Structure formats: structure tokens, C-alpha cells
Structure 1
Amino acid sequence: MPGDAVLPPETAREVIDPHAYAQWDDLLDTFDRLRAESPVAKVVAEDGELFDPFWLVTRYDDVMRISKDNTTFLNNPRPVVFSFRKAIEFSRAATGSDILVDSLVVFDAPIHPKYRRLTQDWFMPRNLARMEEEIRGIANATVDRLVAACAAGEIVDFCKLVSAPYPLHVVMQILGVPEEDEPRMLMLTQQMFGGQDADLSGSGMENMTQEQVIQLVAGAVKSFEDYFAGIAADRRAHPTDDVASVIANATVDGKSLPERDMAGYYIIVATAGHDTTSASTAGAMLALAQDPEQWARVKADRSLLPGIVEEAIRWTTPVQHFMRTAAEDVELGGQQVKKGDWLMINYVAANHDPAQFDNPRKFDASRSPNRHLAFGAGAHQCLGLHLARMEMKILFETLLDRIDSIELAGEPRRATSTFVGGLKTLPVRIQAR
């Protein structure tokens, strides 16, 4: 590939190594160097067999360009998340497609806008306002558990006690999933998105083989499909005003959704609807626990809270990358990308680009403007961004009302994952009112 900027093997390994994403500062150092030296560079497997070559895109402006140009850069037909060849072959054998789950994130026009419109109004602020009281009740119950657990001055894991169960409960209420099934939904989500992590996958295996990860993720997908087939059947027979009923009874071009597409719709709402918000919520709490003065300021002035929420989403960047496929030859960052080439738009790198964000590693609640890419951009911008902001704002209003101080009480740990990432443990000690 003469003329292409190709990453050296050790850097290429780091980009696709889930363990590297758990070593946050080292990873950011790598992205800083790549943005300066090779903002668009080819990643090639050392043996040529593990995965198809792709372009790594690390600069904010380039990631924004790709995100908004859905004609030149497609979500289909190649996987929209980095995948090893064995995973693609498994998916092809199991589904006839290179992609294991057909959901909103994998479709292009004209299918994508038609599917998106089915639930788009449901997730708009005007409709979500109907849920504010219910979400506030869930937030209060969550903080009750936190305060009770800390009554004796004990150290608690904010992730397990608050940031994981709170958005999970909200989105499962939206989907009409019974509360007793929520632990199962959390486990399956963590296996799907955190299958590479020994703790989140439930495997206890620190270094699983590709085959083991593939089987784990595929099993989680199958369990989701079976579960939501039952939900869909129930909502067709007994429709309500929840999102599950909208999906179950939706028609596009006069036809019901194909079974595979319907399952994918349920899965993306059920998984992306809470795991990402969980990561941002934990990120916000980490930043505030590390900065008592900022905690005191926002307690005294709640107008700062939207800035806390937005900065937490940027600073954490729960969805760490997506893949795109070039529909035509195009020049990008001084490199000639060919039609059919695969590209990784790395949101972690883009959201820490100093050309866009002054002192990007600093958590700055007053950052303005804050045009981060954690929700993506363009036609595929996250459908649930208004819900995520609302959930976080309500939770932190509740925390600020009920808690006087919070401090870090141990070493936080990040998930081992290349796709959806964030804190998996956050030990804290709180002083309640």
C-alpha cells in the first residue's frame, strides 16, 4: 500500500486492544500523538488474517465530517463496530449477514430514516416531559439506597449501587420490561457490550479467546431476541403507550417490521438506552468526587448542572468508536481512501482533540461551546440523547439535595472494551444530610 500512512504494529495493537481502553491516560497519549503525526492512518493486522485493514480517524474535524456525510460514508454493509474476521464469519453463517444485530445504527437511507421516525417523537423533550415525575421517583429511590448503604460511613461502589441500576430501571420502564427481569437485562447488556471484560461478562476470564467472546456475545443476542419476541407478541395483543408497543405494531411502507429488524430495534433501545448513560453518570460523579470545590459550587448554583452533565458525556465518551465504509474514493486527512475501505471514527480521540477543546483532559463544567461527538452527529445522532441528559440532570439534582459531600475512597477501574466503555467500579464515601 505505497503512499498510505500505516501504523506501526505496536500502535495498531493498542487501537484494537480492549485492555488499552482501560488504561485511559496512556490511550489518550497515543491519540494525541496520532492526531499530530497521522490523523488518518491505516491499521493492518500483523499476520494479515485477524481483521480487515481499516483507516483510524482521530481528528475532531474529520470525525465530524464523516459523521455528517452519510452518502459518502456508509453504515452498511460492513460491520458498524470493529470486528475480527472470525466474528464476521460467525455472523455470516448464523444470520446471512456480516452484522449480528440489525438495528438503527447499521441501516443507511432510505431504510434508516423510516425506522428512526417510528420512535423519534417518543424520545423528544415534549413527550419525555410526561415521564419526569416517574424518573424523579426512580432517582429518589436510587439515592435512598445509596444513603442507606452509606449510613455507617461504609465505602460503596457508585457504579453498582447507582449509575448502573438507575438508567437501567428508567429504560426498562419505557420498554415495559418487568422489574424482576432487570438484572437479566443488565447481565445480557454487559455480555454484549463488555464481553471482553472478565467482570462485566461474568466469565471471570481475563483473556478470553476470540471464539469465547464471539460465543458469549452471540448467546446474549439470542437471549435478547427470544425475550423481546415475547414482549412483542404481548404488545401486539395488548398494546399500551410504551415504546415496546410502538415497535411491535409499527409498519414501514405498509408492512410490519421483519422479525430480525424488530428484534434489533428492541435490543438497541434496551442496551444503548442505559449502558451509555450509566458510564456518563459514573464519569460525572468521579469528576465531582475528585473536585470538592466544584461539588460545592454546583450545590450552591444549580444552573451549573447542565454543564456538568454535558461535560461528563464528553469527558467519558461511552461509545468509543463506530465504523464506516467508504461509498466512493475520497481524500481524508491527506490520505486517499478508496471505495469499499473501512474506517474507524474514534470518538474518544475526537472528544479529546485540543484543536476543538481547550485542555481536553480537564473536566470543565463551564466549557462552552461543548460540541462534543459523544452522541455522534448527523442522521445517526443518538436517538436517546434528550433522555440521557434528562436522566442525569434529575439524578444529580436528587444527589445534590440529599448529599453534603462525596469523596473518592479507592481506585476507580474502567471497563475492558473497545466499543462501549466507562467506569465499572467507583468506590466512594458519602456524607448524607
Structure 2
Amino acid sequence: MAAATDQSTKIPDLTDPQTFADGVPHEVFDVLREREGLYWQPAAFGTRNGGFWAVTRYADIVEIEKNSADFTITLGNQFPGSDGAFAALRDDMLVMDPPRHTKIRRAATAAFTPRVVANFDPWIREIVNEILDETLPLGEFDYIEAVARHLPARVIARVMGIPRDQRERIVKHVDAVFAATMAPDAGVSMFGVMEGFFGYAKELQETKLHAPQDDMVTALSQLVEKGDLDQNQYEQYVQLLVMAGYETTHTLIGQSMRMVVEDPEVAAAADKAVAEGNSTRLVDEFLRYTCPVMNMVRCATRDMEVFGETIRKDDVMQMYFTAANRDPAVFSEPHRFNPSRPETATLSFGSGAHKCIASALAKLEVSILFEELHARGVKLELNGEPGRGQNVWINQLHSLPVRVIR
């Protein structure tokens, strides 16, 4: 094992949500990327070996994510909880290795390819304008509550075939799951929250089998009937679709607008990008810069020498996507917001077999949102102090008070 916490480097406790209370500690990750080998962060709970390796370089993370033989996700995909507490969630695709993961993932991948998602543009645009029509006349509002919470909830509800009057159930469920992620027994706590939602997934299944529609829940329900998925896999899949379709997009919507209302240079760059028809590139840069899901983990399956360190079986590899997205070995001027940059392959949605299947959908939602705000000539300004969450996993923003100035 390399040197444990070296106090001379003034590296804060990366297991403490307070470390992320004022924002992502990018100056710390800059230091860690430049160190030889990896950095060992002790942890009082949530791992089997008493801590984790902080992996901050882009190339190292890509190497880990493509090597499921040496680095498994089956003990959990996040810290805390990478100590086997996720065993109860074994049928969740997020904690499966290939080839088991490959079979389950195939059930929905075709529904979220960029080509298919591009066909969603008209009805997503309708939802965006519906939300803006409801919100902008207020003059002053919380952008998180009025826009960031409702847009992804309405979109994923439409994709899944969830009735309009049940959209808020999605929001409340996801909020409860992410509140549970910081518990010492995160896997167990999350499973307790999820159990109630599994009952709702069963209700949806029965409804869709009785009256099939062109939506994801109908398709998954029919796969259970055909024997391609079992019941537990179906329920976990519905749960995953809600989580993947909501939280990343919710955070991206909030954090990107926070950058716009706080930084005139970002606002000007965003306006220019949309005006020139480059909203997709703009969203790519917002994703790189804000990185909604800051990290994921894998666990070593054996003792090995890699990345300049002696890694033990069950050691947790904490992959900091948010640090890799600012790796100067990959991105020129990594701390500068630049929608015109040539490097667009970020790790905000992961890589390899577990790259987020709904990434194209999230990007389309946010692209359309900026396009429609631009088309209306709407400008927003900060109207109070943003409320940042305290979470070591998600780059959360709980409130963003704004006012319409044009």
C-alpha cells in the first residue's frame, strides 16, 4: 500500500460530505492526479478493507472500467456501500458484471440509442415549453424546484408510460434513495427505500399487460411474460430507469444554469453556442465541467500490482469522474469552460459496459431546454443564495433562486 494520508499535502477527508459542501474540491484532485501511484483514503465504514483508492486520472479509470475480471461491480457501485451491503440488489444491472450484465442491459439498450432518442425531440420540446409556460410568468422562482425537478420526471414518465398524475411519485422516490446513500449501511438502507417502489412497479406491470402501450414498462413486462427477464430483474430494471432517467439530468439542469447565472463569461459562451446551433457541444461541456455523478467504484477481485500500487483483494477503487474530466493529459485548459473545445469524450456517464444507457436522452433534454430559453429571449439572474447538497457521490444542488430579467 502507498503512503496513507500524508498530512503535508493537506488532503481533506474524501469520505466526509463536508469536504464537498462548498463545491467539488478540484484543487485537491489536481494534487492527487500529479502524485505517483494512487492515494489511499481511510474510511470508517462502507468498505471491506478500511478505505479506498482515489483514482483521479482519466486513463486509469478507463482501464478499470473495461476490466471486470480484476475489478468487479458486484460488491456495490458507490461509496459507502462497497462492502457487500448491496448484495440484496444483486438483480440490479448497476451491480452486475458481464456477461450477466450484458444480457439484462440488452433489454433496454435499443430504446435509448442516439438515433432512437433523436425521435423524441418533438414531444420533449412540448414538455419543455409546457414547463416554461408554467414557470416564466412567475417572474421569480426556484429553478431546481420549477424546472430541474419536473423536466426529467415528466420525460422519464413519458418514456416509461407512467401516468401524468403519478409523476411526483418519481421525484419523491429518487429523493428518498439519494438520502439513503449516505447511511453507513447504504445498500441495506437503499433496498428498504426501494421495496416500496417495487410494489408500484408491480402495479404498473399488471396495468401494462392488461392494456399494452408503446412504452418501456410495457416492453419490460412482456419480456417477463416471455421469460427473458424474471420478476425481480423487472422490478430492479424499472427502478434503474427511474434513477438513471431522473437524477443525472436533474443535477445537470441545475448546475448548468447555476454556472450561467453566476458567470457572465459562461452565459455569453452558452448564448453563442446555442445561437450557432451548437447546443449539443454546449451540453457536452456542461457535463464535463459539472459532472453530476462525481464517482463510482469497483472492487479488486484479487491481489495485484497495478497503477504503481499493491492492490489487495476487495480493495475499493473510487473512480473520480469529476477529476478525470479535468485531466490535463486529455483536456486542454481543463479548468476553462469552453463549448468549442475539441475534446468531447468525457467520463460523466462512465465508460465501458456500464456507460449510462440514457446518456443521449439526458443530453437531448438539456439541449432542448437551452434552445427554447434562447428562442424566447429569456435571461435569468441569481435571486438569492444557491443551496448546495452535501454528498460525496452526487454533485447536488437543492435550490437555485432566480428571476426573469428579459
Q: Normalized against structure 1, the TM-score is what?
A: 0.84
Mean Cα deviation higher: 13-22 or 112-121: 13-22
Q: Give the corresponding residue for 1:163.
A: 148
Amino acid at match of 1:275: E
Alpha-carbon distance change, 396 to 143 in structure 1, aligned in 2, over 3 angstroms = same
Q: Give the corresponding residue for 1:277.
A: 249
Equivalent runs, 1:184-203 vs 2, <5 Å = 184-195=169-180
SS at 1:16's partner residue? coil
Find out whether 1:117 has 2:109 as its counterpart.
no
What is the aligned counterpart of 2:341 among 367, 379, 382? 367
Equivalent runs, 1:345-356 vs 2, <5 Å = 345-356=319-330
Q: 1:357 offset after TM fit, Å?
A: 2.2
Q: 1:157 offset after TM fit, Å?
A: 1.4
Q: Give the corresponding residue for 1:179.
A: 164
Q: Give the corresponding residue for 2:208.
A: 235
Equivalent runs, 1:226-305 vs 2, <5 Å = 226-250=199-223, 255-289=227-261, 290-291=263-264, 292-298=267-273, 300-301=275-276, 303-305=277-279
SS at 2:405's partner residue? strand
Q: Give the corresponding residue for 1:393.
A: 367
Alpha-carbon distance change, 415 to 295 in structure 1, aligned in 2, over 3 angstroms = same
Q: 1:329 offset after TM fit, Å?
A: 3.9
SS at 1:386's partner residue? helix
Distance 1:106 1:405 in 2: 42
Q: Give the corresponding residue for 1:108.
A: 97
Mean Cα deviation higher: 28-37 or 164-173: 28-37
Q: 1:31 offset after TM fit, Å?
A: 1.4
Distance 1:192 1:237 in 2: 30
Q: 1:161 offset after TM fit, Å?
A: 0.9
What is the aligned counterpart of 2:80 among 74, 80, 83? 83
How many residue pairs get aligned? The number is 402
Alpha-carbon distance change, 167 to 39 in structure 1, aligned in 2, over 3 angstroms = farther
Distance 1:12 1:236 in 2: 54
Aligned alpha-carbon RMSD (Å) = 2.8
What is the aligned counterpart of 1:358 among 312, 316, 332? 332
Task: List gaps (5 residues or longer) in structure 1.
Answer: 92-96, 198-208
Q: 1:45 offset after TM fit, Å?
A: 3.2
Distance 1:116 1:47 in 2: 31
Alpha-carbon distance change, 428 to 69 in structure 1, aligned in 2, over 3 angstroms = same
Distance 2:224 2:165 in 1: 30
Amino acid at match of 2:388: R
Q: Give the corresponding residue for 1:94.
A: none
8 Å Cα contact 2:37/2:309 also seen in 1: no
Q: Which string of whole-angstrom CA distances, capped at 9 and with x for unpartnered residues, describes residues 33-86 of structure 1?
A: 22222551222236999974322211111112112223332211x11111258x
Q: Give the corresponding residue for 2:4.
A: 6
Distance 1:22 1:50 in 2: 26
8 Å Cα contact 1:318/1:422 also seen in 2: yes
Distance 1:413 1:61 in 2: 33
Q: Which string of whole-angstrom CA distances, capped at 9 and with x for unpartnered residues, describes residues 122-159 of structure 1?
A: 11133223322111100101111221111xxx3x2111
What is the aligned counterpart of 1:384 among 330, 340, 358? 358
Equivalent runs, 1:302-321 vs 2, <5 Å = 303-321=277-295
Amino acid at match of 2:260: L
8 Å Cα contact 1:189/1:220 also seen in 2: no
Q: Which string of whole-angstrom CA distances, capped at 9 and with x for unpartnered residues, describes residues 92-131 of structure 1?
A: xxxxx63546322111111111111111111113322332
Find out whether 1:19 has 2:8 as its counterpart.
no
Q: Which string of whole-angstrom CA distances, capped at 9 and with x for unpartnered residues, describes residues 294-338 of structure 1?
A: 24423532x231221001111111111111122344433211223
Distance 2:378 2:21 in 1: 31
Mean Cα deviation higher: 44-53 or 361-370: 44-53
Alpha-carbon distance change, 52 to 384 in structure 1, aligned in 2, over 3 angstroms = same
Amino acid at match of 1:401: A
SS at 2:318's partner residue? strand
Q: 1:13 offset after TM fit, Å?
A: 6.6
Amino acid at match of 2:197: F
Alpha-carbon distance change, 123 to 299 in structure 1, aligned in 2, over 3 angstroms = closer
Identical pairs, percent: 28
SS at 2:169's partner residue? helix
8 Å Cα contact 2:71/2:299 also seen in 1: yes
8 Å Cα contact 2:271/2:374 also seen in 1: no
8 Å Cα contact 2:11/2:28 also seen in 1: no
Q: Give the corresponding residue for 1:126.
A: 115
Q: Give the corresponding residue for 1:413.
A: 387
Q: 1:287 offset after TM fit, Å?
A: 2.3
Alpha-carbon distance change, 12 to 99 in structure 1, aligned in 2, over 3 angstroms = farther
Mean Cα deviation higher: 4-13 or 290-299: 4-13
Equivalent runs, 1:335-350 vs 2, <5 Å = 335-350=309-324
Q: 1:8 offset after TM fit, Å?
A: 4.7
